[in-house]
Structures are given as C-alpha cells and as structure tokens.
Amino acid sequence: MKAVLCKSYGPPENLTLEEIPDPQPAAGQVLIDIHAAGLNFPDTLQIAGKYQFQPPFPFIPGAEVAGTITQVGEGVTDFEVGHRVMALPGIGGMAQRVVADAAAVDPIPDAMDFETAAGFGLIYHTSYHALKQRADLQPGETLLVLGASGGVGLAAVEIGKAFGAHVIAAASTDEKLAIAQQHGADELINYGDGALKDKVKKLTGGKGADVIYDPVGGDLFDQATRCVNWKGRILVVGFTSGTIPKYPTNLALLKGCQLVGVFWGDFRRREPELCRKNCAELFDLYEQGRLKPLISQVFPLEQYVEALNVFINRQAVGKIVLGFDR
C-alpha cells in the first residue's frame, strides 16, 4: 500500500510517500480499506516532535479515517468484512489501509458519506465531551468559542446551540466569522485586532461568558481569563497559537471560576461506556440535521504536504480531509 512516513521530526516537507506492506490485524483489531482520512492540527505537532504522544520511527501520521472493513482479527464480533466504519486509530491514517482496535471503530450512519465520517470523530467527540461532561453547559448560558471557524470550533458552535446556549463565535477575520454564523452563532467577535476581553464584556453587559471554549491559547487565553463570568468555566482544549499560556490563579479566586482541561483521548480510554453514549447522541443530532460538518478541502494522498501546510499557515476552516479514489 501507499503510505506517508515520518522518519525524523520536521515540517510536512520532511515526510515521504512510499510503498510498504499492508498491515495485518491482531486479535481485537480490524483492517480498514481507507476511503478518506481526516487531518488535524495535532498531526503537524506530532511530525515535528512537539506532541504529548510520540510513536517510534518510522510512523504513519493521521489519527482518524473512514472506510470499509476488509479483514477482522480474532475475537472481533461487532464488525464484519464490508462494514462502512469510521475509526480513530491514533496513527496510521495517512495511508491506503490501517489497522484499528475494534473499540476505536464505529459504524457510519447510512446518511453520512466517507469524507464527512473521516472528519467527524475527533472534532465532534472533543467538543461534545468538553461542553457536556467538562463544562456542564446549560440552556440559556453564554458560550464563547475561540477559533470558531476551525474544526473543533465549528463543532462547539453547533453543539452549543443544540444545548440551548447563547453562542458568541470569535475568530480572526470577518470571512471566518461568516462561516461560524452559518453554523448557528448568535453573536460574532473579530479579534484580528488583538482585542477580545472588552468586546466580550460589551456583548454580555459586563458579565462575561459562562463557558469559554479555547483551542487557541496564547494571548487570547490571557484575555479569556479576564472576561469569564462569575462561576464560569474556561475549557483548555488546545494551543493552535503555538504558545502554552500561564494562568494567574488570583483570577480564579476573584471570578469564582474553574479552569477545566479537556483531553478526549484519555476520556475515551477511561470511560468507554460514557464515550459510546456521547457517540450515539452525536449521531442522533447529525441525523436530525442539527450538526452539519464542514469539509472545506479534500486533497489526494499525494498532496499531503499541501494539506498539512493548511494548518501550519493558519488557513484551516472546518475540516481538511485526504480523499482516496476507490
């Protein structure tokens, strides 16, 4: 099969596309013929050696895929050859085939195509877990979403609306904000001028947001800590700005607020039953038409450098996917 290999840390240009033997499923695993693979900002961190999980060299980047099962390992009873599935193997997605633990595989709803399925798992699971289990977002509360046009940001906007929240979408350009508005945002904030705190307070009558969803970090996080409401929750989702900020704990005292970490991968491992319940609820929302994933760009496997550089150049809107001709 063709696969993108990372043999040493560096930029996307450092990767190579090679022919390697097909993987074989072990007990409890399935082999998936990949039709589409979702890309994410952490993929660029992993190939640069800056992610919290670093597999040994050589490895195939790519954490999420969608395709058809071509082989099942010993002990697998929930899936059969030919099933349409989405999977989160962690690595191995930027290839024509991948093995995945059966526990990390879900059937694709009949109404969902492969490209949408490849871009659904990580962003919607992360945002759903963040807003439901970590923030306990309630109807009528104000949710501020930073990076609102990106994958997890748009998912948070949609899920926040589904939960009955008043959603403020924040992004760096009016073009990105227009996309967030199309996905249900009630209010818009352009922080391209570096200003966030005062704009949030103006929109909330000086109170601040009840829940702040932050996948960006950096200076925006610093401002977010100063525009959170009394008893608010600040969700630490990621650091696409490239800067991990420090938290002034005196603000937690003054605001009576919570700083809440969101690590969906470990949640899935530690609480699998609750994670499966989330998945069923997400599929219900999708089938009701309340979640409308945006697949903004589809690249062939051979254009993996261009695809990953969309993230590095801060140009990602919605979901970026590799598509495979089948």
pLDDT digit string (tens) for 275-319? 999 999 999 999 999 999 999 999 999 999 999 999 999 888 999
pLDDT in the model for residue 314: 86
pLDDT of residue 21: 97
The answer to whether 228 and 196 have CB atoms below 8 angstroms apart is no
For the chain, the structural domain boundaries read 2-107+294-323, 123-264
Q: How far is CA 34 from CA 14, 50, 97, 156, 160, in A?
A: 23, 27, 5, 27, 31
Report the alpha-carbon distance of residue 160 to residue 167 in Å, rounded. Answer: 7
Per CATH, domain 123-264 is 3.40.50.720: yes
Strand 228-236 relative to strand 209-214: parallel, antiparallel, unpaired?
Answer: parallel
pLDDT of residue 326: 57
Contact 246, 271 (CB under 8 A): no
Low-confidence ranges of the chain (pLDDT < 70): 326
Name 90's Cβ contacts closer than 8 Å, sequence gap at least 6: 53, 63, 104, 265
Which run of H or E residues covers position 233? Answer: strand 228-236
pLDDT of residue 194: 85
Give yes or no on whether 2-107+294-323 and 123-264 have one common fold: no
Polymer length in residues for the chain: 326
Identify the pLDDT of residue 53.
84
Give, to the nearest 10 degrees, the angle between helix 151-162 and helix 174-182: 40
CATH of 2-107+294-323, one of 3.40.309.10, 3.90.180.10, 3.30.1130.10, 3.40.50.2300: 3.90.180.10
Residue 132 carries which DSSP code? I
Label residues 287-319 b or e (16+ Cβ within 10 Å = b).
eeeebebbbbbbbebeebeebbebbeeeebbbb
pLDDT at res. 242: 82
